[in-house]
């Protein structure tokens, strides 16, 4: 009985993870997301993120955080509770060249993408 439950559980995980993930284009420095299936509001937010969040590091850093749920440098959780804090942290860096509105847009997008990545 226990074994059957375990098998069912593993099967369920395999089925759901088959749909998981974000549509990623390119690798390394060129890694970016494919926004073609994004709703309009998220497309607009992505237009901000893809410009503002590559000033100091590439998008791979952000994409890996969204895909794995772990911030790649610190190893801290990167979930809905953390996105805002990371956005603010980036905003506060010297010469971030972002305003609060733009950070808000990117945080909204990251929260939406976290949900998408877990679908
Ligand atoms: C002014 C430079 C700068 C800008 C602009 C910037 N970052 Fe960063 N980012 C850094 C630096 C430096 C680090 C290294 C680790 C740290 O300080 O958190 C980093 C680290 C990160 C990490 C990994 C954090 C960790 O703890 O592992 C993520 C995710 C991230 N940035 C996302 C973003 C997003 C999203 C944006 C746009 C809203 C952005 N960054 C804009 C400089 C920047």
Mutate which of 80, 82, 86 for ligand 1 pocket (most atoms within 8 A of beta carbon): 86
Using CA positions, which residue lies closest to atom 28 of ligand 1? 62
In whole angstroms, give the CA distance from residue 113 to residue 23.
Answer: 10
> Distances in Å between the alpha carbon of 108 and those of 6, 10, 16, 28?
36, 32, 24, 24
Q: Ligand 1: residues within 6 Å at CB?
A: 52-53, 55-57, 61-62, 65, 71-74, 76, 86-87, 89-90, 93, 95-96, 103, 106
Mean pLDDT of 79-107: 97
Mean pLDDT of 67-96: 97
DSSP H or E stretch at residue 32? strand 32-33
In the chain, the domains with their CATH numbers are 21-117 (1.10.760.10)
Burial group, residue 16, by CB count within 10 angstroms (0-12, 13-18, 19+) = exposed
Res 16: pLDDT: 46
Q: Full-prediction pTM beyond 0.75?
A: yes
Res 5: pLDDT: 62
Do the beta carbons of residue 96 and residue 102 sit within 8 Å? no
């Amino acid at each position: 009985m226990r074994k059957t439950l375990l098998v069912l559980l593993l099967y369920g995980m395999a089925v759901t993870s088959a749909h998981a993930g974000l549509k990623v284009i390119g690798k390394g420095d060129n890694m970016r997301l494919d926004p073609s299936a994004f709703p309009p509001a998220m497309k607009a937010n992505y237009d901000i993120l893809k410009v503002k969040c590559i000033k100091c590091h590439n998008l791979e850093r952000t994409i890996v955080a969204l895909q794995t749920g772990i911030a790649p440098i610190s190893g801290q959780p990167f979930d809905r509770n953390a996105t805002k804090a990371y956005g603010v942290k980036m905003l506060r860096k010297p010469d971030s060249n972002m305003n609060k509105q733009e950070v808000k847009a990117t945080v909204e997008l990251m929260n939406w993408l976290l949900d998408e990545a877990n679908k």
